[in-house]
Structure 1
Amino acid sequence: MVKKIIAFLILATIVSCSSSKPAIATTRKAAAVQKPRVAATKKQTPVKPTVKSYPSTNVTTEVIQSTSKTVVTSDLINNYVLQFKDIAMGNMTKYGIPASIILAQGILESGAGRGDLAIEANNHFGIKCHNDWLGESVRHDDDSAQECFRKYPLAAESYRDHALFLVGKKRYATLFTYEKDDYKSWAKGLRAAGYATDPNYPDKLISYIERYNLHQYDCQVTGRNYKPFEKSSTVKNSSTPAKSSSNANSNDPNLYEVQQGDTLYSISKKFNVLVDDLKRKNNLSDNAISIGQRLKVK
């Protein structure tokens, strides 16, 4: 009897052990391990791109239209002048071209060094290949699609080639009959000789020369005393300066002669017209105006 009881207990123990299988626990453990992996995948989100914000400034901006449209600030133009003034004065000494004209053309033609040709080809004067060019070149849309423009290894080479270009072309010979520092005659002469087709090209050059005091570099070469344009053109001892300036074009009430301190905006307010209308009436591609320039206001 005792043996039967012992045998029964052993059999019950074996059945109990075989019924508690560890496979279920293992399966649950495996499932528990997999869950965080799925959750980790769902939590992965794309990184948002960083958006740079530029603080607003009070620096004057303008659009320069040459072989490409470039937006520049007065600070950029001043820095451009400081970078190339020594080269311009050196070329004036060697070739007889006013440093002020060289710098003004560089500003206008290259967008103060920010234009496409200046960046891609170190071409600061918009000089095209022509038949005598043996150097490298780039293609750029201008008067026609994909025109050939000269490419230089350095910007200084562009300045040198600009001087050689003017010296070597017969159509520019008249320019060298002017005084070295007569920037107004040079500005008008360049347009007359066909350097640019823009009828306002001389006014734009003169405007840059007078606004940024570029004539001082002519005087450094010639040894003459330089007087800032703003000081030399100030009306003194006049009891009615505003009246005298407005009467400068009394013969034609539709015209207004630009005075010191004038901007397109101030002129538009004076004559109750829109700035865009002034630009359209006078074929202006930007906001640059020069003292003495006559504008249609009606």
Structure 2
Amino acid sequence: MMKRLVLFTILGIMLIGCKAKKRTTHSDRSNHKTVTVVKEEANDGYDSKGLYPLPKDTGRFQRFSIGSVEEYIETFSEIAQYEMKAYGIPASITLAQGLLESGLGKGELAVKTNNHFGIKCHKGWQGDYDFHDDDEKGECFRKYNHPMYSYRDHSEFLSSRARYAFLFDYASTDYKRWAKGLRQAGYATDHRYPQKLIYLIEKHKLYRFDKGVRLNNAIAIREPKSFENKVHVVQKGDTLYSISRRYFISVDEIKRMNNMNSNNLAIGQKIRVQTELSKK
């Protein structure tokens, strides 16, 4: 069963409810090697940073085949809950985005890159990548050896970018505001993106996975981000779209921050863009 295949690499190395240092082993079926993991004392299998351990990256791409929506949910619901505990993103939202962006796990991008959230390369990406037609032909998308890395990257992507910061002010059970906020922040260009997420959540009762997950150790809550305001001076040929691509921020967010009612620009006009402070 697919759930066993995915969770085997996690649960084989996690120490659920451990209270002392322990040693455990699991078999990596891809190369028939036994990996030994030593886990220091942690709460409920999480390390001191609130993260559960990812499986060891063997460098080999693992191809997954999902047969149905139910199988997708069964396979990734627990991973979504782990990410919710660590980062504060509702598991229902993570699962709905995974289902939608990956084409129920069967889309071309998901199959060839294990990218379940449609995250593009963006500036600073140093991992593997592949090209896929999306808004434009041959765009660069992140590629992962295992879907779990895609889930972790999705959490880090949302929690580390200024344009998504306001989402973490919403209640973790308010999936409707999260869905609408993702569209507002520019995660997708589809105007019906929130409705599609909400439909998936309610049809498959994904909100049940938000219940009982403690967020008091969530990274996004525990470590508030610092931001700086930058100003872009409009040059000849600039458009809101080109500016949004340059600063990795949505057109809607630019208009919101600058109280703009139209897409018209004037040469010399100062446009405020908000970016995360550089980390050293």
TM-score normalised according to structure 1 size = 0.49
The residue aligned with 1:150 is 142
- Listed one character per residue, the Cα deviations across residues 35-90 of structure 1 (whole Å, up to 9, x for unaligned) are xxxxxxxxxxxxxxxxxxxxxxxxxxxxxxxxxxxxxx9x7111100000010000
The residue aligned with 2:178 is 186
In the alignment, the residues of structure 2 paired with residue 216 and residue 147 of structure 1 have an alpha-carbon distance, to the nearest angstrom, of: 35
The residue aligned with 2:267 is none
Out of 162, 171, 189, which is 1:170 matched to?
Answer: 162
Give the SS at the match of 2:213.
helix
In the alignment, the residues of structure 1 paired with residue 211 and residue 75 of structure 2 have an alpha-carbon distance, to the nearest angstrom, of: 18
Gaps of at least 5 residues in structure 2 are 1-65, 216-280
> In the alignment, is residue 122 of structure 1 matched against residue 101 of structure 2?
no
> In the alignment, is residue 94 of structure 1 matched against residue 79 of structure 2?
no
- Listed one character per residue, the Cα deviations across residues 189-246 of structure 1 (whole Å, up to 9, x for unaligned) are 00000001111000000000000010000013159xxxxxxxxxxxxxxxxxxxxxxx
**Could you list the runs of 4 or more consecutive aligned residues of structure 1 that deviate by over 6 angstroms after TM superposition?**
none
More strand by share: 2
Within 5 Å, which residues of 2 pair with 1:125-274? 125-221=117-213
- Listed one character per residue, the Cα deviations across residues 8-32 of structure 1 (whole Å, up to 9, x for unaligned) are xxxxxxxxxxxxxxxxxxxxxxxxx
Query: Using CA pairs below 8 Å that are at least 6 residues apart, which structure has the higher relative contact order?
Result: 2
In the alignment, the residues of structure 2 paired with residue 197 and residue 144 of structure 1 have an alpha-carbon distance, to the nearest angstrom, of: 12
In the alignment, the residues of structure 2 paired with residue 222 and residue 197 of structure 1 have an alpha-carbon distance, to the nearest angstrom, of: 32
In the alignment, the residues of structure 2 paired with residue 130 and residue 207 of structure 1 have an alpha-carbon distance, to the nearest angstrom, of: 29
Percent pairwise identity: 55
Bigger Rg, structure 1 or 2: 1
In the alignment, the residues of structure 2 paired with residue 186 and residue 202 of structure 1 have an alpha-carbon distance, to the nearest angstrom, of: 8
| Offset of residue 148 of structure 1 | 0.2
> In the alignment, is residue 110 of structure 1 matched against residue 102 of structure 2?
yes
In the alignment, the residues of structure 1 paired with residue 183 and residue 170 of structure 2 have an alpha-carbon distance, to the nearest angstrom, of: 15
Instruction: Give the CA RMSD over aligned residues.
Output: 1.5
Within 5 Å, which residues of 2 pair with 1:19-30? none
- Listed one character per residue, the Cα deviations across residues 125-170 of structure 1 (whole Å, up to 9, x for unaligned) are 0000001100000000111110000000100000000000000110
Q: Which amino acid aligns with 1:138?
A: D
Q: Which amino acid aligns with 1:88?
A: A
Give the SS at the match of 2:124.
coil
| Offset of residue 112 of structure 1 | 1.1
TM-score normalised according to structure 2 size = 0.52
In the alignment, the residues of structure 1 paired with residue 104 and residue 213 of structure 2 have an alpha-carbon distance, to the nearest angstrom, of: 23
In the alignment, the residues of structure 2 paired with residue 120 and residue 176 of structure 1 have an alpha-carbon distance, to the nearest angstrom, of: 31
